Structures are given as C-alpha cells and as structure tokens.
C-alpha cells in the first residue's frame, strides 16, 4: 500500500487531471480564485473529482500542519463569523464591486462605511488570507470569486440602510455545482444562508455548551441567548424581526437549487396519482418545492401550510412568480401550525427541511398529526439531508472511501451536513439524522420507510402503516 502522504497526493493529482481534462474539453482553463465566475462543468465525474480533491487536500494540510495550529485555527473560528458579519453589515462586497478589479484602499472603504480604515484593513486581511477578498496591494482590497457571493443586486448607496429590502431581488438560481458553491456576479440567495449563519447562528452558538448541560426549560441555545422561551420561528413572528424573517424566507429559496431544477419533481411519480389528488406542503415557507412540483403536475391540488408571517411572505412570492396558480385554486396557502391536528386528508404530505428543525418529541407530534389525518394509501415524503458517520457504516450503506480518506470524505461530504447539524442544535435543538434514524422516527409514528432517493437533499418516502 502506498504510504499515507503519497496516497493523499495521488488522490489529488489523479483527480486534478480529471478536472483539467473536463475544462480542456470545454475549451477553457480552470480559473483561479481571482478570475470571474464561470459555471463549473456539471458532469458527475467532475463533482466526484472535486469532492475527492477537497477531502484529500484538507486531510493533507491537517496532517502536515502542527496540531496546535490546527486546533487554534478551529478554536478561533468565531473570527470567520464576525469578520463575515462585519463585511456583510456594511455591504463591503457591494462597495468593492463598484470599485472593480483595482480595488479600494481600506481608508476609503472605512470612510464610506463609517468605520476606522485600520479596522477595515485588518478584517479584510483576515478574510483575504482565507481566500475571501483579495489584497491587491498593501491595504487595497478587491472582490474575488468567494467574496462576490456576498454582493447584492442593488447599488451600494441604495442598500446601506434599508434592512427590509436589502436582500430583495437576489436571484434564486444560485450557481451550484453539487454541494460546491461558486460565486455568481451578484449574490444568490445562498449567500443569505451564509449571512443568517453569522447572525442568528452566531447568537445560538453563544449558549451552545450551557444548553446541552441544562436547557433550563429553554427551547434551544438560541432561546437562552435571547432569554426568551420561544423558538426561533415564533421569534421571527414578533414585531421588529420582520426583516430577519424576510431574509430567512429569501434564503430558503436557495436550497431548492442544491438539487437542481426538476429534482423534487423527479423523486416521486406525481403524474401517476389520480388527477385532482391533494398534496400538502407542511411548513412550506415560500413554497419553492410546491412551485416546482405543481409546474410538473398542475392537475393536482396543492395546499401550503405555515405560520402567519411566513404565509404573508409566501403570498407576496406567489403573486410575483405564479399568480395564476393561486387564482385558479391549483395552490392554496393556509395558516396552520403542524403542532395542531392536520386538517387535510391528503394523498401526499411532504416536508422539506422541517423535521431537522425539531427535537425528537416534537417530530413525533408533527408526524403523528399527519398520520392521524392520512388515508391508508397516503404517502409521506421527507426531504432532508442525510447525516453520515465519519467511519464506515453498514446500516447506512456507506462502505467508506479510498485510503486514507474519512468515510464521509471529511468536509467534502460530511462538512455541510455537520455544520447544518450544529446549526439546527444551536437555533432550534433540532438535528440532522441518518437513514436509520429517519426509519425509526417513521416506525414510532406509524410510517414505513419504503425508499430513499439520495442527493444533496435526500427524499425519504414512507407509506402509512395502519
């Protein structure tokens, strides 16, 4: 067997060849981080090569670096959060977009955003050292591919103060190649997930350790930080949080693109259902999944449930995007809490990124209410990410990865899901689950897991058990 370091180097070099060949076939060269965005070739082989390069380079760097340095880098990860929060709050990427590739001096940036230029330079240098922004010459900074994800669609002068409309018009077509995000010339809604993480996520993380020891009756670490006995979604419904609720709802457009167009419509044969079947989107938010499925199978009736504020947001979204579907009754929006008995006897109930928001007892209530209302033939579909152990796991069918990589490819495949798991814990005491855990949750609430369609967001398809 090749020695440890060379095994990693071989994985990197053979997969870099695959990437380069894919670009050569497209008649271009692999771009550096400083070059403008160009969509990545989308072939599965390119995505797999990318995952393996990320897994191996991270493991190689971690292996050769001093353990103390690695731990220090991780222990001070909050500076990633706060520097990103700083540049976002002051719309620095938007300002630098207007400055162009020559960039802008930190003093001038400081003048425009009302912060001492010396602070600005240090924050931007911290980020540039981590490949977010570029230090073009001493204290002069420009956008690069990563920082341009934070660019919004309005001129800098128009977005400085208006929190409610700051993120409007962000295109939902985040340019995503599998789970790797590349920057578009203007911010995608996926950039809002980053920003939400530096704000609500950061607030939650501050009471993370305390909560796990003793929740003191609070719903989540986030609730402890806020000293409020409500969960994050109820907090969004409160006066003063409308702009955060709006930002969150806008961010929720993004994960639809993680699956790519047609992903939700293709996991289930919606057209095999009798015409006029009833399909409920439980906790729908804007209803981006309903929109995709209803476009593919407009002969059915779709009902979206959510809390009052979220339904108001959704009404605005549908009025802009597809008003006919509301006007002709194809899609109905209703205020309904999934903690109350389900009022609809539907053919299919689906929930995207809902179950991961809640602790076990709440998930059982939600799925139990749906079970009580369902027909014997009803289907339940949970669209959720699939948690993976870092070691081989026969039960989940994860046999491992090439030597010496971690079975979940470290941050390459396990990165986003473990971040999401921590985020769910921090914000809501929710969690990401393995396939076995979804099957067990179904068993306890009267649902049999029939099949799983893997993907960045997997579909867990259940049928009702009497």
Closest approach, Cβ 7 to ligand SAM, in A, equals 39
Sign of CA dihedral 179, 182, 186, 191: positive
What phi, psi does 37 have (nearest 5°)? Answer: -65, 135
Closest approach, Cβ 310 to ligand SAM, in A, equals 4
Which candidate, 250, 253, 251, 257, places its Cα nearest to that of 178? Answer: 257
CA distance 136 to 3: 39
Question: By C-beta, is 262 or 397 nearer to ligand SAM?
Answer: 262
Closest approach, Cβ 48 to ligand SAM, in A, equals 26
What dihedral angle (degrees, nearest 10) is formed by the CA atoms of 335, 341, 346, 348? 90
Question: By C-beta, is 284 or 363 nearer to ligand SAM?
Answer: 284
Closest approach, Cβ 351 to ligand SAM, in A, equals 6
Token pair of 78 as six digits: 């909050």
CA distance 309 to 240: 12
Question: By C-beta, is 333 or 354 nearer to ligand SAM?
Answer: 354
DSSP 43: -
* Number of neighbouring beta carbons within 10 Å of residue 169: 11
Which candidate, 203, 192, 185, places its Cα nearest to that of 163? Answer: 192
Token pair of 50 as six digits: 């990318």
Closest approach, Cβ 353 to ligand SAM, in A, equals 4
Closest approach, Cβ 420 to ligand SAM, in A, equals 10
Please, which residues bridge with residue 74 across strands? none
CA distance 134 to 114: 21
What dihedral angle (degrees, nearest 10) is formed by the CA atoms of 191, 288, 259, 460? 120
- Buried b / exposed e over 240-260, threshold 16 CB at 10 Å, is ebbebbbbbbbbbbbbbbbbe
CA distance 183 to 169: 16
- Determine what percent of the chain falls in helix, strand and coil, rounding each to the nearest 5: 50, 10, 40
Closest approach, Cβ 248 to ligand SAM, in A, equals 8
Question: By C-beta, is 92 or 282 nearer to ligand SAM?
Answer: 282
CA distance 144 to 147: 5
Question: By C-beta, is 113 or 232 nearer to ligand SAM?
Answer: 232
CA distance 465 to 206: 42
Question: By C-beta, is 4 or 339 nearer to ligand SAM?
Answer: 339
Closest approach, Cβ 137 to ligand SAM, in A, equals 43
Question: By C-beta, is 9 or 296 nearer to ligand SAM?
Answer: 296
Closest approach, Cβ 40 to ligand SAM, in A, equals 25
The answer to whether the CB of 405 falls within 8 A of the CB of 59 is yes
Closest approach, Cβ 285 to ligand SAM, in A, equals 3
Question: By C-beta, is 338 or 349 nearer to ligand SAM?
Answer: 338
What phi, psi does 271 have (nearest 5°)? Answer: -80, -10
Closest approach, Cβ 391 to ligand SAM, in A, equals 29
Question: By C-beta, is 337 or 463 nearer to ligand SAM?
Answer: 337
Question: By C-beta, is 211 or 349 nearer to ligand SAM?
Answer: 349
CA distance 110 to 141: 12
Positions in the binding site for ligand SAM (CB under 6 A): 233, 252, 283-285, 288-289, 305-307, 310, 337-339, 352-354, 357
Question: By C-beta, is 291 or 374 nearer to ligand SAM?
Answer: 291
What phi, psi does 343 have (nearest 5°)? Answer: -85, -5
Gyration radius of the chain over CA positions? 23
CA distance 63 to 56: 10
Closest approach, Cβ 206 to ligand SAM, in A, equals 21
Question: By C-beta, is 352 or 379 nearer to ligand SAM?
Answer: 352
């Amino acid at each position: 067997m090749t020695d440890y370091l060379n095994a990693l180097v071989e994985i990197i070099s053979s997969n870099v060849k695959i990437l380069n060949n894919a670009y050569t076939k497209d008649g271009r060269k692999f771009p550096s981080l400083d070059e403008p965005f160009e969509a990545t070739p989308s072939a599965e082989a390119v995505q797999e090569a990318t995952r393996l390069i990320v897994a191996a380079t991270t493991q190689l760097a971690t292996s050769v670096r001093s353990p103390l340095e690695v731990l220090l880098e991780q222990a001070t990860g909050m500076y990633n959060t706060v520097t990103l929060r700083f540049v976002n709050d002051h719309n620095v990427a938007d300002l630098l977009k207007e400055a162009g590739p020559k960039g802008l001096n930190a003093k001038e940036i400081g003048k425009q955003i009302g912060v001492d230029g010396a602070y600005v330079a240090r924050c931007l240098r911290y980020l540039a050292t981590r490949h977010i922004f570029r230090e073009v010459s001493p204290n002069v900074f420009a956008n690069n591919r990563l920082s341009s994800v934070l660019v919004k669609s309005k001129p800098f002068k128009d977005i400085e103060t208006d929190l409610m409309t700051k993120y409007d018009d962000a295109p939902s077509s985040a340019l995503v190649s599998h789970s790797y995000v590349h920057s578009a010339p203007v911010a995608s809604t996926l950039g809002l997930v980053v920003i939400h993480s530096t704000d609500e996520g950061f607030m939650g993380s501050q009471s993370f350790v305390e909560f796990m020891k003793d929740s003191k009756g609070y719903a989540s670490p986030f609730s402890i930080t806020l000293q409020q006995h409500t969960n994050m979604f109820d907090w969004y419904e409160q006066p003063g949080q409308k702009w955060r609720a709006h930002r969150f709802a806008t961010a929720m457009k993004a994960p639809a693109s993680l699956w790519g167009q047609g992903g939700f419509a293709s996991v289930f044969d919606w057209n095999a259902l009798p015409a006029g079947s009833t399909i409920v989107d439980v906790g729908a938010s804007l209803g981006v999944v309903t929109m995709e499925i209803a476009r593919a199978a407009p002969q059915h009736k779709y009902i979206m449930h959510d809390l009052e504020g979220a339904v108001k947001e959704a009404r605005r979204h549908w009025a802009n995007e597809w008003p006919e579907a509301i006007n002709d009754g194809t899609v109905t929006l209703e205020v309904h809490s999934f903690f109350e008995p389900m009022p609809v006897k539907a053919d299919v109930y689906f929930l995207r990124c809902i179950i991961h928001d809640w602790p076990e007892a709440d998930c059982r209530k939600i799925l139990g209410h749906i079970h009580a209302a369902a027909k014997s033939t009803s289907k339940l579909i949970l669209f959720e990410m699939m948690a993976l152990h870092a070691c081989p796991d026969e039960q989940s069918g994860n046999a491992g990865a090439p030597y010496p990589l971690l079975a979940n490819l470290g941050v390459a495949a396990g990165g986003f899901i473990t971040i999401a798991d921590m985020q769910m814990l921090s914000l809501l005491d929710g969690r990401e689950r393995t396939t076995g855990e979804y099957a067990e949750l179904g068993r306890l609430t009267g649902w049999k897991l029939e099949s799983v369609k893997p993907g960045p967001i997997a579909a867990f398809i259940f049928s009702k058990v009497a």
